[in-house]
Amino acid sequence: MVNTKNKSVIFMKRPDDYPIVGEHFVLQHTDLVAELEEGDILTRNLYLSLDPYLRGRMDGIEGAYVPCFHIGNPINGYGMGEVIQSKNSKYPVGSLVFGVITWELFSLIPPSFNNLIILPNAIRESKVPLSWYLGALGMTGLTAYGSLKLFANLKPGETIFVSAAMGAVGHLVGQMAKRQGLRVVGSAGTDEKVKVLLEELNFDAAFNYKTGNILQSLQKACPEGIDIYYDNVGGEQLEAALEVLKQHGRVVVSGMIDDYNRVTPYHIKNLVLIFQKRIKIEGFVCLDFEKEIWPEFTADVTKWLLEGDIVCKEEVTEGLENAPSVFVNNLKGKNLGKGVIKIADL
Amino acid sequence: MVNTKNKSVIFMKRPDDYPIVGEHFVLQHTDLVAELEEGDILTRNLYLSLDPYLRGRMDGIEGAYVPCFHIGNPINGYGMGEVIQSKNSKYPVGSLVFGVITWELFSLIPPSFNNLIILPNAIRESKVPLSWYLGALGMTGLTAYGSLKLFANLKPGETIFVSAAMGAVGHLVGQMAKRQGLRVVGSAGTDEKVKVLLEELNFDAAFNYKTGNILQSLQKACPEGIDIYYDNVGGEQLEAALEVLKQHGRVVVSGMIDDYNRVTPYHIKNLVLIFQKRIKIEGFVCLDFEKEIWPEFTADVTKWLLEGDIVCKEEVTEGLENAPSVFVNNLKGKNLGKGVIKIADL
C-alpha cells in the first residue's frame, strides 16, 4: 500500500511556441494512494534529465515521434530513481534505476513502462558525480557517442562543425571528435560559452552565432571548409553549414532545436547544394540504437571521464518545482552543458 | 588541316531565372579553321543530350559542381559523335564516341578533354534507336540505374515516390523500381504525362502536381506512406515527401530542378522531420560512379530494353539550332521523357 504526499509536474496544454510555466505545465501537490499490482514498482526519484527533445513530445503528433504527452498527465522523461516498493522481481527494492520516469517525487511505474536500466551498485561509490549518469554517462552521452560511431564516420584530420556546441550533447560530441584527431569548431549563443569551448574544452575554433553573421563566422573559422556538420539546431546554422561543407560532406542531425518552437521555421535557401555537393544528411533518435551501443558506450566513456580525456559540463538545479522553468531556459539556450534537476539525495 | 563551316551554340550571359534564347545563349555561324595538334580529335556530332543539370553549370559557381560554362564559349554536354579526323591513337577515325562534346556541328576536342567512351561498332546495327544511347543507355540511364543501386537500397514491397516521373531520369527510375517489385508512384506536370505513366509505364499511381494540392495528392496515392522518395525536383514536392515518408525513410536526390531557376527557392517548412523520422537524404552526381557502374549498367539495361521490360521515352528534335529552345522547354517540363537533339545521321 502506498500512501504518500507527492508533487507532480502536469502537462496542461500544447504550446505553439516556447512552453510557459503555469500555462503549459504546472506543479501540483497530490496524494499518491494506491495498491501496487503485479509488476508495478514505486520509485523515489533522484534526478531528472532536461532534454530539448521533450519539446517535440508536447506537439501531439503521434507516430512521427516517441510517444507524445497527454494533457493532464505528468511529464515524463529520462531520470534516475531508487526502487522503494516492488511487485516486480526484475527490480528489487533498493535498485538504482535509470530510464523514463515521471516528473514527480515518486513514480508508480506499471510493467508496460518498465524499460528501466538497473545501474550497478558500484556507482553509489562512483568517482564521478551521480548526476553525470544523466549527462555524459546517460542518454545524452549515448546520443553523442552512438551517433558519431554509427553515422558520422569520423576520420582524423577532418573538420567537424558542431552547433549548440555548449549544449548537453554538443559539448560531448566536440570533445569526442577532438580525441579522435579531428579539427573541432563550435557555435554557441553567448561569449561565455565560446570562452569555455576554447579554454576548457579544447575546441580549435568557436564563435557566438548571435553576435555576427553566421555564415561569415563559420567561413572564417573553417577557411578550408568542413567535412561533417553535427546539427543540433537546424535553421540558419544548417544553411551556413551546407554552404561551407565540402563535396561529399555529411550532416548528422541530432536535433533541430531552432525549429521546435517556431511556428514558421527558418527558410533554408540552399538545399540544392545537397545535390550539387553530393551531401548526405542523416537524422537519428538514440532510442534506435541504445541497446546495441550501451555496453561499449559505458565502458569507453567512463574510462575517458576518469582519465580526464573528456569532461561533462552540467548545471544541476535542486528541486522538482524548478523543472519547468529550467527546462524552458534550456530550450532558450541558457544552460551551459547538461541541464539536470536534482530532486533528492541518494 | 580543318577548314569547314561550323555552327555553335555560344553561352553569352549567366541567367538568374530560366535562360532565354538569344540572350543567354545564341547560335553562331563560324568557320572552324585549325591544325590538329598531337592528341586532338575532330568529331562530326550526331546527337546532343539535353540535361537539366546543365542549367546549374550556367551559374558560374566553380567548385560546387562540375565545371561551369564560360561566357563566349560553346555550351558543352553529353552527346554522340563520329571521329572524322584524329591525332590521337585512342580514337581512330570512324570511332563512334559518347561523352562531353560541344554544342556544335563539329567539335575540336583537345586531349585534356577526352574522357569520351568509344561505343562498340555493333551499335551501328543496334535494334534500339541510336538516340537511346543518350537516354536509357547513356548518362541518363546510368543516373537512374546507378543511383538506385548505390543509394536507394530498394526492397520488394516497398513504395517509392518519383517526382518529375515522366522526365528523362524519372521514367526510367520508376520502371526499374517496378521491375524490382516495388509499388511505384509518380508525379508529373500534365495530365498527358500522368496518363503515360499509368497506361504505358505501369506505374501503380500517378498525379498531376499542378492541378491539386501536392501533399493531399501524395497522401491519397500513398495511404500507407512511402519508403523512398526519388527527388528530381526539390521544393514543395520534397516537403510533401518528408511529410509522407515513413520512419527511417530515404530520399535520393538526383536533382532539384525546381530550385535551378528560382532566385528564392520554395520554403520547405518541415525539415525537422529529418530528425523526428530518422530520415536519410543523399545527393549524388553520376560522374562519381560512372566508371564503376558502366559495364553492368550497359549489360543490364540493354537486356531490359530488348526484352521490353522497360522502355525509353524520348523526344528527338532535329537541328542544332533548336537545342537552346528545346533545352529551355525541358527545364520547364514540356518534354515527355528524354530530350534529344539530332544533329546529323550516322
CATH code at position B127: 3.90.180.10
Question: Which tens digit of pLDDT belongs to each residue from A166-195?
Answer: 999 999 999 999 999 999 999 999 999 999
Please judge whether A277 and B238 are an interchain contact, meaning their C-beta atoms are less than 8 angstroms apart.
Answer: no
Distance from CA of B243 to the nearest CA of A (A): 9
Rounded to the nearest integer, the mean pLDDT of chain A is: 93
pLDDT on residue B114 = 62
Residue B120 pLDDT exceeds 80? yes
Whole-angstrom distance, CA of residue A155 vs CA of residue A152: 9
Q: Is A301 inside a domain boundary?
A: no
Q: How many domains does chain A have?
A: 2
Question: Which tens digit of pLDDT belongs to each residue from A257-312?
Answer: 887 777 789 999 999 999 989 999 999 988 889 889 999 999 999 999 999 999 99
Within this chain, do residues A79 and A112 fall inside the same structural domain, yes or no? yes
pLDDT on residue A65 = 54
Q: Is A174 inside a domain boundary?
A: yes
- Closest residue to B274, CB basis, from A253, A260, A277: A253
Q: Is B302 inside a domain boundary?
A: no
Q: Is B44 inside a domain boundary?
A: yes
Contact residues, chain B, for A285 at CB < 8 Å: 275-276, 278
- Between B214 and B335, the more confident residue is B214
- Between B282 and A53, the more confident residue is B282
Contact B266, B237 (CB under 8 A): no
Within this chain, do residues B179 and B118 fall inside the same structural domain, yes or no? no
Q: What is the CATH number of the domain that holds A158?
A: 3.40.50.720
- Strand runs (DSSP E) across chain A, as ranges? 2-11, 25-34, 41-49, 76-86, 96-102, 106-109, 117-118, 159-162, 183-188, 205-208, 226-231, 245-253, 280-283, 314-318, 338-342
Within this chain, do residues A185 and A242 fall inside the same structural domain, yes or no? yes
Mean pLDDT of all residues in A69-80: 94
Distance from CA of A284 to the nearest CA of B (A): 4
| Three-class secondary structure of residue A238 per DSSP | helix
- Between B63 and A95, the more confident residue is A95
Residue B103 pLDDT exceeds 80? yes
Q: Which of A148, A123, A139 has the alpha carbon at shortest distance from A306?
A: A123
By mean pLDDT, which of A260-264, A327-331, B220-224 is the weakest? A260-264
A239: nearest CA in chain B?
Answer: B271
Question: Hey, which residues does B231 pair with through a beta bridge?
Answer: B253
pLDDT on residue A128 = 85
For an interface test with A, the pick among B229, B259, B276, B289 (most A C-beta atoms closer than 10 Å) comes out as B276
DSSP string, B210-262: TSS-HHHHHHHH-TT-EEEEEESS-HHHHHHHHHHEEEEEEEEES--HHHHT-
- Closest residue to A281, CB basis, from B255, B274, B285: B274
Q: How confident is the model at residue B128 (pLDDT cuts 50, 70, 90)?
A: confident
Within this chain, do residues B125 and B81 fall inside the same structural domain, yes or no? yes
Hey, which residues 115-174 in chain A have their CB within 8 Å of chain B?
A: none
Asked if A5 has any chain B CB less than 8 Å from its own CB, the reply is no
pLDDT on residue B59 = 87
Residue A117 pLDDT exceeds 70? yes
Residue B20 sits at the vertex; the CA angle it makes with B15 and B25, to the nearest 5 degrees, is 80
By mean pLDDT, which of A60-64, B162-166, B177-181 is the weakest? A60-64
Distance from CA of B248 to the nearest CA of A (A): 8
Please judge whether B272 and A259 are an interchain contact, meaning their C-beta atoms are less than 8 angstroms apart.
Answer: yes
Within this chain, do residues A128 and A146 fall inside the same structural domain, yes or no? no
Within this chain, do residues A173 and A104 fall inside the same structural domain, yes or no? no
pLDDT on residue B258 = 82
Distance from CA of B120 to the nearest CA of A (A): 31
Please judge whether A272 and B265 are an interchain contact, meaning their C-beta atoms are less than 8 angstroms apart.
Answer: yes
Question: In which domain, by residue range, is A246 found?
Answer: 139-287
Which of A287, A305, A330 is at the close of a domain? A287
Question: Which tens digit of pLDDT belongs to each residue from B223-247?
Answer: 999 999 999 999 999 999 999 999 9
pLDDT on residue B124 = 87
Within this chain, do residues B88 and B194 fall inside the same structural domain, yes or no? no
Residue B319 pLDDT exceeds 60? yes
Asked if A74 has any chain B CB less than 8 Å from its own CB, the reply is no
Please judge whether A279 and B275 are an interchain contact, meaning their C-beta atoms are less than 8 angstroms apart.
Answer: no
Asked if A265 has any chain B CB less than 8 Å from its own CB, the reply is yes
Q: Is A305 inside a domain boundary?
A: no
Distance from CA of A199 to the nearest CA of B (A): 31
Please judge whether B285 and A267 are an interchain contact, meaning their C-beta atoms are less than 8 angstroms apart.
Answer: no
Q: Is A58 inside a domain boundary?
A: yes
C-alpha cell at B99: 561523352
Residue B5 pLDDT exceeds 70? yes
Rounded to the nearest integer, the mean pLDDT of chain B is: 93
Contact residues, chain B, for A265 at CB < 8 Å: 269-272
C-alpha cell at B155: 526492397
Residue A239 pLDDT exceeds 90? yes
Contact residues, chain A, for B276 at CB < 8 Å: 56, 64-65, 283, 285
Within this chain, do residues B181 and B278 fall inside the same structural domain, yes or no? yes
A270: nearest CA in chain B?
Answer: B265
Question: Which tens digit of pLDDT belongs to each residue from B244-266?
Answer: 999 999 999 998 888 777 778 99
Mean pLDDT of all residues in B287-300: 91
A255: nearest CA in chain B?
Answer: B275
pLDDT on residue B269 = 94
Residue B164 pLDDT exceeds 80? yes
pLDDT on residue B122 = 84
Asked if B288 has any chain A CB less than 8 Å from its own CB, the reply is yes
Backbone φ, ψ for residue B160 (5° rounding): -115, 135
Distance from CA of A84 to the nearest CA of B (A): 35
What percent of chain B clears pLDDT 70, i.e. is strictly above it? 98
Asked if B269 has any chain A CB less than 8 Å from its own CB, the reply is yes
pLDDT on residue B312 = 95
Q: How confident is the model at residue B70 (pLDDT cuts 50, 70, 90)?
A: very high
Q: How confident is the model at residue B345 (pLDDT cuts 50, 70, 90)?
A: very high
Within this chain, do residues A259 and A278 fall inside the same structural domain, yes or no? yes
A289: nearest CA in chain B?
Answer: B278
Please judge whether B271 and A288 are an interchain contact, meaning their C-beta atoms are less than 8 angstroms apart.
Answer: no
Whole-angstrom distance, CA of residue A63 vs CA of residue B280: 18
B232: nearest CA in chain A?
Answer: A275
Contact A253, B274 (CB under 8 A): yes
Please judge whether A278 and B259 are an interchain contact, meaning their C-beta atoms are less than 8 angstroms apart.
Answer: no
Query: How many CB atoms are located within 10 Å of the residue A219 CB?
Result: 15
Please judge whether B260 and A272 are an interchain contact, meaning their C-beta atoms are less than 8 angstroms apart.
Answer: yes
Q: Is A306 inside a domain boundary?
A: no
pLDDT on residue B66 = 67
pLDDT on residue B141 = 96
Within this chain, do residues B187 and B240 fall inside the same structural domain, yes or no? yes
| Three-class secondary structure of residue A31 per DSSP | strand
Within this chain, do residues B54 and B83 fall inside the same structural domain, yes or no? yes
Mean pLDDT of all residues in A56-85: 86
CA A6, distance to chain mean position in Å, is 26
- CB-count exposure of residue A118 (10 Å: 0-12, 13-18, 19+): middle
- Closest residue to A269, CB basis, from B255, B264, B285: B264
What percent of chain A clears pLDDT 90, i.e. is strictly above it? 82
Q: Is A41 inside a domain boundary?
A: yes
A247: nearest CA in chain B?
Answer: B64
Contact residues, chain B, for A57 at CB < 8 Å: none
- Closest residue to B283, CB basis, from A238, A269, A275: A275
Mean pLDDT of all residues in B52-62: 84
For an interface test with A, the pick among B169, B252, B275, B286 (most A C-beta atoms closer than 10 Å) comes out as B275
| Three-class secondary structure of residue A124 per DSSP | helix
CA A299, distance to chain mean position in Å, is 20
A279: nearest CA in chain B?
Answer: B283
Residue B113 pLDDT exceeds 80? no
pLDDT on residue A66 = 67
Whole-angstrom distance, CA of residue A109 vs CA of residue A113: 6
Within this chain, do residues B275 and B145 fall inside the same structural domain, yes or no? yes
